[in-house]
Structure formats: C-alpha cells, structure tokens
Amino acid sequence: MFIQIISCELRVAESATRFDCRSLSGAEKTGADAGKQSEPGSKLRFSVLLSVREPDLRLNPSQVLQLLSLRPGLAEHACRQQGLGRFGEKVHFASLPHIVEHLLIDRLVEEYGFQVAGNTRWQNRATGSARVTVQTLTTEAPTSEHPRHPLQARFDQLLQQAIRELEEVLHQPIDADA
C-alpha cells in the first residue's frame, strides 16, 4: 500500500477557501470565480488526512496513460498547481495525494453531479502526511435532504475507491512496449 487514510471528516463548509483544483472543465474557469465567498451552510467540505509511503513518487508515463484511460474526466479538471492549466498537463508531476484529490473530485461529480473544488497540502512532506480537502461548489449539495452519516459513509467509500484505483495503477507492471 502506498497510501493510507489517517482520518477523514465531512462537514458543512464555514469559511471561504481558495482552491487550486476544480472539476469544471476548461482552465479559464479557475480565474474569475475562484475567489468567490462560499455560502455557509450550503456547501460540504470533506477533509482527509493521508499518509503516503513515498512522498516523492510520481507516475511513470504508462501509469499516467492508464490512469487517464480509466478516468478520462481527470484530464479536463482545472488545476492551478504550478501554473494555471488542465490536470492532464500536470498529472505526470503530481504527488500521490494530489492525484487522490482529483480522483475523488471526479467520483463526486460522477455520483452527485455537482461541481467540486479541492486542495492538497503537505502537512509534513518528510513523513508523507498530506491534507486533501474537497468542497462542493453548488448550493444544491445534499446537506438537508440527506442525513449526515450516510453521506459521510458514501464520501468515505468514494475516497477508498479513489485510493484503490490509484494503488492498482501504481502496482501495474511496467509495460515494456509502452
């Protein structure tokens, strides 16, 4: 296992945060509305603490191809890490927690259809601990109509699926023909 979940928590977002990464396709969309205030009570924030075994590990080119063929939507995510652009242009130098973040965003969009933004920050790069935060951007987020605990459980499952998917890519034998 390269990646472990230390803790995760789903709560209503209470403060405005500037996010680097977005499910919205097209890098241009990160600009104008990126600094907008969040609306308290209407958005959900999922905060995840991860531990990665090799903080400097990056995907090799065949693993990048495999990941993007599994989740083509990732390539179109807007991502501001190391300059404005699409995640498809950044995945080859993205850290594992940053890739988990985009996989989670992709699954949340698929599951609920709302737009999602996220951030990844090292808490302690030497020990491989990183904080991944994703937040719903749409006010139709299922806060009121869904009980809290099943929703947290579903977010947990989507996180676990995202990590499993990345682990499978990482454990793929290197294809000599790729």
Q: Which residues sit at the interface with Zn ion, rule CB under 5 A?
A: 21, 79, 81
Residue 73 or 151 with smaller CB distance to Zn ion: 73
For the chain, helix, strand, coil in percent to 5 are: 35, 25, 35
Least distance CB 80 / Zn ion (angstroms): 7
Least distance CB 58 / Zn ion (angstroms): 14
Residue 83 or 113 with smaller CB distance to Zn ion: 83
Least distance CB 111 / Zn ion (angstroms): 19
Residue nearest to Zn ion (CB): 21
Q: In whole angstroms, how large is the CA radius of gyration of the chain?
A: 16
Structure token pair of residue 96 = 């594992």
Residue 43 or 98 with smaller CB distance to Zn ion: 98
Least distance CB 20 / Zn ion (angstroms): 5
Q: Would strands 129-136 and 116-124 be described as parallel, antiparallel, or unpaired?
A: antiparallel
Round to whole Å and give the CA distance between 116 and 38: 12
Neighbours of 32 (CB within 10 A): 8
Residue 44 or 106 with smaller CB distance to Zn ion: 106
